[in-house]
Amino acid sequence: MTGTCDPAGWHRCTRWCGRYGRSPEQVEGAACQACLGEDLIEGTLQSQDGVAYPVLRGIPRVLGDCYLTLVSGVTGEWLKRHRKNSAASGTEFDRLQIQTATAFGEEWRYFSQNLADYEESARSYFDLLAPNDFSGMILDAGCGMGRWARYAGGRGQTLIAVDLSSAVDVAVRTLENMPNAHIIQADLHQLPFRSATFDLIYSLGVLHHLPDPLTGLDRVVRHLKPGGKFLAYFYYALDNRPRYFHVLLWFVTGLRFVISRLPHRAARVICCAIALTVYWPLVQFGNCLRAIGLERVARQVPLYEFYTGKSFRSLFNDSVDRFATRVEFRFTRERIREMFAKVGLLNAQFSNTTPFWKVLGVKAAASAPSRNVEGIGP
């Protein structure tokens, strides 16, 4: 049976009712409300095609075989019973994804505190959206520890936060006492939702860390309703900055290449030193220029414009985010506009406030024919 159980659009089980131990046809429709009103803390979900997924610490882990290594607590007994290929190593694409997810899982377990700075930062990241854009179903595609989901969830009706990394275990704490927010551990390339499910999808600081950002964008946008809005933040290619920014980027990229290959703890120590000796002094230098009336000059100081007024913890966190991840792409406005057009997002609108680039698009009313969007460069 596939009858809707409540106005939010959730559906009855179609193969087996685990609560009552019988087929769905033998369960009264009203009885489904008991399941819909409770959280499943530990258990197993089974898809229509028979694939099983663990639910641990209240989070469904909808992951392929090789990605289960990212989940702590999956027992050998469970794997033996439900996944015969759990030792599969995956492709090179999978290896890169696991590597990136592991790094971000480490990062967000360390930076698990929900800082006061995040409220102001969230207003900046969501500046292209109006209050009524948060109505309906919202997807946070790459939620990390849930800092932006907390902001969006507080303004919307139903929010689903998804991440591939173990940061979802931190996001549970960040989003506690928000009954409209739900967390799933899943790959953005294989989201466990029907197409055209969400009214708003946002992905902030995530797509540029995927092995193939255009493919990731396409897979996520498939779940956006026609006319729905998609908000993204991409690392920019400094296309609106002076030449010396590009020279600095060349040096920073080389430094990231080295640091991102170190053990996580060693990389974090170095990033702390960078935050202390580079981030913080540059922000203070910009503050001094502004204090003497040279605000326009201050805005040309690297890092100043976005980080002024933020705590050292935020600077430290972002230095880890910047230097401790191996996969990183950067994009010009025009390249982002091209990508949006390829996946059926229209009217790309860019924010002219830091950080760059934040862009908002609208899903085309009618789906375009099947597209080949595989492969992208910076």
Per-residue pLDDT of 110-134, as tens digits, reads 999 988 889 999 999 999 999 999 9
The listed range with the strongest mean pLDDT (28-42, 102-116, 357-371) is: 102-116
Lowest-pLDDT range of 89-103, 227-241, 324-338: 89-103
Q: Mark whether 300 and 199 lie in a shared domain.
A: no
Work out the percent of the chain whose per-residue pLDDT is above 70. Answer: 89
Residue 13 lies in a domain: no
Tell whether the model's pLDDT for residue 369 goes beyond 50.
no
Q: Find the domain containing 278 and state its range.
A: 261-323
Pairing relationship of beta strands 52-56 and 59-62 according to DSSP bridges:
antiparallel
CATH number of the domain encompassing residue 204: 3.40.50.150
333-342 vs 213-221: helix axis angle to the nearest 10?
A: 50
Q: Mark whether 223 and 163 lie in a shared domain.
A: yes
Higher pLDDT, 240 or 371: 240
Counted domains in the chain: 2
Residue 82 lies in a domain: no
| H helix intervals, the chain | 32-36, 76-82, 92-110, 117-125, 147-153, 168-174, 213-221, 243-259, 264-274, 280-291, 295-298, 304-307, 312-323, 333-342
Per-residue pLDDT of 131-180, as tens digits, reads 999 988 999 999 999 999 999 998 878 999 999 999 999 999 999 889 89
* Domain termination residue (choose one: 288, 307, 323): 323
How sure is the predictor about 39, in pLDDT bands with cuts at 50, 70 and 90? low
Average pLDDT over residues 341-354: 95
Q: Mark whether 145 and 174 lie in a shared domain.
A: yes
Tell whether the model's pLDDT for residue 94 goes beyond 50.
yes
CB-based contact 147:118 (threshold 8 Å) = yes
Q: Mark whether 115 and 223 lie in a shared domain.
A: yes
Residues whose CB falls within 8 Å of the CB of residue 173, separated by 6 or more in sequence, listed in order: 112
Residue 47 lies in a domain: no
DSSP letters spanning 82-102: H-TTTT----HHHHHHHHHHH
Instruction: Measure the CA–CA gap between 365 and 348, rounded to whole angstroms.
Output: 15
Tell me the average pLDDT of the chain.
Answer: 88
How sure is the predictor about 378, in pLDDT bands with cuts at 50, 70 and 90? very low
H or E element, residue 62: strand 59-62
Q: Which residues pair with 202 in a beta bridge?
A: 140, 231
Higher pLDDT, 375 or 221: 221
CB-based contact 196:176 (threshold 8 Å) = no
Q: Mark whether 223 and 181 lie in a shared domain.
A: yes
